Amino acid sequence: MASPTPVLQVENLRKEFVRGFLRRRTVAVQGVSFSVEAGEVFGFLGPNGAGKTTTMKMLMGLIHPSAGSATILGARIGDLEAKRRIGYLPENPYFYDYLSAEEYLHMVGRIYGLDRAQRHERAGELLERLGLGMASKRAMRSYSKGMLQRVGLAQALMGDPELVVLDEPMSGLDPIGRREIRELMLDLRAAGKTVFFSTHILSDANLLCDRVGIIVKGELRDVGPLGELLSPAVHHVEVVWSGSEELRARMREEFAEGRHESSSEGEVFVVDAETSEVVQAEVDRFVAAVAGGGGSLLQVNPRRETLEELFVRDAGLRPEDQRS
């Protein structure tokens, strides 16, 4: 259960890769510090190439940090005793494709030091839980991508770990599969385990995480509960309306500074928020012009910041860059 020491404590982690004859340097991760408390589901969010996998590999002792340090379950990175208490799903897990999932899990169980009865029980339970029961005796070379991803998750859980480190656990899964994995992760939390996982699927993070860390271009930009990272202020207001072609053309001209779109529900006029007073005044003016021109007002929707927008804000991109 919750202990005062964080399960994962990362201090100023840095990784530089040196490539090729010219010894070009890539700084993949720099100055990354955060901690994950016992019993948390912590999401490590970032776009492609942000440094998520590199950070996780350092934490698992698979590559050496160029600088900085970290402790996992109170031990230094790479400590073998601590590793037995951690389950890890790598980004591209490698499987012996001539083995069946059941044989493979038995092999993993042996590495974790489980006896035959324990292996049998644990493998059976996980194969059922991950929906692989029917295929568990077939060679894994006949498995689909989603099935292999599930085998990867099963092996990460084989040793009944206290901490689960999952690099893109939803990768390759369809929406139903993703929901099943989300439920599995919540069950782990309910059982008092700690989950540290990476994703760029923002809706998964939204539904799951107690806290998230957002990494962009190797640097950690934000850490905290998603609700606190999202700005509570109105981000933009959408006015949905309908009117004649002539009115539509007139409104586009008169309100050229806002965004005009057409949707299945009607014409949409979007006012981005600079300050709420200005937005409100602009919305009032627009609504009055619709009524004055004989159009109909259908909806006025104030929108708060979504996770996607936070992501874009942290990446230092403008919202326009994302829409295109």
Chain contacts with ligand ATP (rule: CB under 6 A): 17, 19, 26, 28, 46, 48-54, 91, 200
Coil/strand/helix, residue 120: helix
Neighbouring residues of 105: CB distance < 8 A, sequence distance ≥ 6:
119, 122, 123, 126, 127, 151, 154, 155, 158
54 contributes a contact to Mg ion by CB under 5 A: no
- Give the strand pairing for 41-45 and 194-199: parallel
Cβ at position 49, least distance to Mg ion in Å: 8
Ramachandran area for residue 119 (φ above 0: left; ψ -120 to 50: alpha; else beta): alpha
Q: How far apart are CA 195 and CA 227, in angstroms?
A: 19
Cβ at position 201, least distance to ligand ATP in Å: 10
Nearer to Mg ion, 3 or 26 (CB): 26
10 Å Cβ neighbour count for 47? Answer: 16
Q: Which does 199 bind (CB under 5 to 8 A by kind): Mg ion, ligand ATP, none?
A: none
Q: Which does 6 bind (CB under 5 to 8 A by kind): ligand ATP, Mg ion, none?
A: none
Q: Name the amino acid, one letter, at 54.
A: T
Nearer to Mg ion, 11 or 91 (CB): 91
Q: How far apart are CA 74 and CA 132, in angstroms?
A: 35
Q: How far apart are CA 90 and CA 248, in angstroms?
A: 53
Cβ at position 146, least distance to Mg ion in Å: 18
Cβ at position 200, least distance to Mg ion in Å: 9
Cβ at position 2, least distance to ligand ATP in Å: 29
171 contributes a contact to Mg ion by CB under 5 A: no
53 contributes a contact to Mg ion by CB under 5 A: yes
Residues 75-94 that bind Mg ion (CB under 5 A): 91
Nearer to Mg ion, 53 or 155 (CB): 53
Coil/strand/helix, residue 9: strand
71 contributes a contact to Mg ion by CB under 5 A: no
Q: Are 219 and 287 in contact (CB under 8 A)?
A: no
Nearer to Mg ion, 53 or 149 (CB): 53
Cβ at position 215, least distance to ligand ATP in Å: 7
Binding interface with Mg ion (CB under 5 A) = 52-53, 91
